[in-house]
């Protein structure tokens, strides 16, 4: 692999610029909110800030589909062993399900302990008020059908990661099963496509500070800093629960990875910051792949487990769903027994798998499940105004959960090598390295 001296410092500079942009976005949003004469004017100003974040997220969406396709196909074609793929997938799903259950239980425990919805000093929306969240088709049958793409190009166009993963698995297995030069030619082309896409990713990521600035400034312009004080108890309780979840995830990582888990957390700080400030898991995906490579995870494990985790391993979202549902119950003074709460968690566990690709998916899951337990869907109106701030925390948590899950699965498979030095070649995350074959 070619040397890339100085690229580690480039990554640090980018992380610094992202942090500076986030702070600048807070001040710009605060000034715009104070200057705007009314809510309509604030929304109009926020629209201009959002241009930057919209462009950045569009650029990210532009590279996600070809990046997932190329890395998954190259990994499976090179692996040439369907049993290995099945074994890796089984281990990953076992981790995902366990982590999801722990996240849901933690959200339930914190909501019951801190009672963020009790004695809420806010007017409650009418129970019959509509939230305009589309919850139809939120069931296991629809999810299973949704996993398989009707059209690969449609899946690519809509960035349906799970559908792209399914097609890529079929494509990769087909290449691995074909002898002769045609298969080698296709494999060579796709393998060479990976570093090209990662280089495109490097170019796109330099627009990240502008995107972060726009996202933060737009959110503060509309909501103002005062909303943080109004919902202080709710936000504080939620982020306190997230910090405990972070500690549990890192602790679980320590059990399997040892002290190296702290090196991993240091490496993923850049995609973590991108995910937090933009509230977009997709925005962090390319950089997260790169950082896992630098940590020593075999690229073939990353290319399979990480896309799978983006659909099944949403630890922050799971905690949020339990927390939000019980917050609404408390706000309306509705008592829920322990049995009802545990049933609620299990329903959410299954329902959350049916909203792949749905915007604000966590809100949709909560909205769909609430009526089943006699809770008013209108209660979501209490938190929809601050959902951007909640989404930032749960998205960052999802990034941490997926980085640890991928690394642990690689360790189980004996596919976790030594980390690259700090001045390693970050642009060549798709290139071969010792032990990658």
CA separation for the pair 20, 22 (Å, rounded): 5
Structure tokens at 62: 């532009």
268 compared with 281, residue with greater pLDDT: 268
Instruction: Give the residue, 434 or 92, on which the prediction is more confident.
Output: 92
**pLDDT tens-digit series, residues 10-56:** 556 777 888 898 889 889 999 998 898 888 888 898 899 989 988 88
Whether residue 210 is contained in a domain is answered as yes
Q: Span 309-330, mean pLDDT?
A: 89
Residue 175 lies in domain: 7-425
Q: Name the more confident of 9 and 99.
A: 99
d(CA 348, CA 302): 27
Q: Which CATH number goes with the domain that contains 186?
A: 1.10.3860.10
User: How many whole angstroms from its chain centre is CA 196?
Assistant: 24
Please write the tens of the pLDDT for every residue from 137-193. Answer: 555 566 677 778 889 899 888 877 778 888 988 888 888 777 766 777 888 888 888
Q: How many domains does the chain have?
A: 1
Q: Is residue 257 part of a domain?
A: yes
Write down the pTM of the prediction.
Answer: 0.78
pLDDT higher than 50, residue 381: yes
| The pLDDT value given to residue 129 | 58
What token pair was written down for 115?
């009672």
Mark out the alpha helices in 413-434 (DSSP H runs): none
Model confidence pLDDT, tens digit, residues 77-92: 766 566 777 888 899 9
pLDDT at 426: 41
Closest CA to 193 of 431, 435, 437, 425: 431
Rounded distance between C-alpha atoms, residue 191 and residue 290, angstroms: 16
CA distance 137 to 385: 25
* Spatial contact of 167 and 394, defined as CB atoms under 8 Å apart: no
215 has pLDDT over 70:
yes
Is 209 a domain residue?
A: yes
Identify whether 347 is part of a domain.
yes
Q: What are the Cα distances from residue 336, in Å, to 196, 343, 414?
A: 53, 11, 45
- Give residue-wise pLDDT tens across range 222-279: 878 776 776 788 889 999 999 999 999 999 999 999 999 999 999 999 899 988 988 8
What are the counts of helices (DSSP H) followed by strands (DSSP E) for the chain? 19, 0
SS (H, E, C) 223-265: HCCHHHHHCHHHHHHHHHHHHHHHHHHHHHHHHHHCCHHHHHH
Residue 392 lies in a domain: yes
Q: H helices of 352-429, where?
A: 361-369, 381-384, 387-412
Tally of residues, the chain: 437
Check residues 351 and 347 and name the one with the higher pLDDT: 347
What interhelical angle do 82-114 and 232-257 show, nearest 10? Answer: 140
The least confident of 176-180, 268-272, 359-363, 367-371 is 359-363
Is residue 282 a part of any domain in this protein?
yes
Q: According to the model, what pLDDT value does residue 432 have?
A: 38
Q: Is residue 433 part of a domain?
A: no
436 domain-assigned: no
Q: At what angle do helices 82-114 and 161-177 cross, to 10 degrees?
A: 160
Closest CA to 357 of 320, 308, 310, 309: 310
């Amino acid at each position: 692999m070619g040397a890339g001296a100085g690229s580690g410092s480039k990554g640090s500079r980018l992380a610094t610029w992202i942090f500076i942009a986030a702070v600048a976005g807070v001040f710009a949003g605060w000034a715009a909110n104070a200057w705007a004469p009314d809510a309509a004017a604030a929304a109009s100003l926020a629209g201009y800030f959002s241009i930057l974040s919209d462009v950045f997220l569009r650029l990210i969406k532009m590279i996600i589909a070809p990046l997932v396709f190329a890395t998954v196909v190259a990994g499976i074609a090179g692996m040439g062993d369907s049993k290995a793929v099945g074994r890796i997938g089984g281990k990953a799903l076992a981790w995902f399900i366990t982590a999801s259950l722990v996240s849901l239980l933690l959200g339930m425990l914190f909501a019951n302990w801190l009672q963020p919805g009790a004695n809420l000093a806010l007017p409650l929306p009418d129970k019959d008020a509509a939230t305009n969240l589309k919850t139809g088709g939120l069931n296991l049958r629809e999810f299973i059908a949704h996993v398989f793409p009707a059209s690969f190009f449609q899946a690519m166009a809509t960035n349906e990661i799970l559908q792209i993963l399914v097609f890529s698995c079929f494509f990769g297995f087909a290449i691995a099963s074909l002898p002769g030069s045609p298969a080698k030619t296709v494999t060579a082309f796709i393998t060479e496509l990976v570093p090209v896409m990662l280089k495109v990713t490097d170019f796109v990521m330099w627009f990240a500070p502008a995107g972060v600035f726009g996202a933060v400034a737009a959110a503060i312009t509309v909501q103002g800093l005062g909303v943080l004080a109004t919902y202080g108890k709710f936000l504080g309780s939620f982020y306190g629960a997230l910090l405990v979840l972070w500690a549990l995830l890192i602790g679980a990582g320590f059990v399997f990875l040892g002290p190296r888990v702290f090196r991993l957390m240091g490496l993923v700080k850049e995609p973590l910051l991108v995910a937090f400030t933009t509230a977009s898991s997709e925005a962090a995906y390319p950089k997260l792949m790169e950082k896992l490579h630098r940590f020593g995870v075999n690229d073939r494990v990353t290319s399979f487990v990480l896309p799978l985790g983006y659909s099944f391993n949403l630890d922050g979202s799971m905690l949020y769903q339990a927390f939000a549902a019980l917050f609404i119950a408390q706000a309306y003074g509705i008592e829920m027994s322990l049995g009802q709460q545990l049933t609620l968690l299990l329903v959410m566990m299954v329902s959350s798998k049916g909203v792949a690709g749905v915007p604000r998916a966590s809100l949709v899951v909560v909205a769909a499940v609430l009526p089943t337990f006699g809770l008013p869907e209108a209660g979501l109106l209490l938190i929809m105004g601050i959902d951007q701030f909640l989404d930032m925390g749960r998205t960052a948590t999802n990034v941490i959960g997926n980085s640890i899950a991928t690394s642990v699965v690689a360790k189980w498979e004996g596919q976790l090598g030594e980390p690259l030095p700090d001045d390693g070649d970050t642009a060549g995350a798709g290139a071969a390295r010792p032990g990658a074959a």
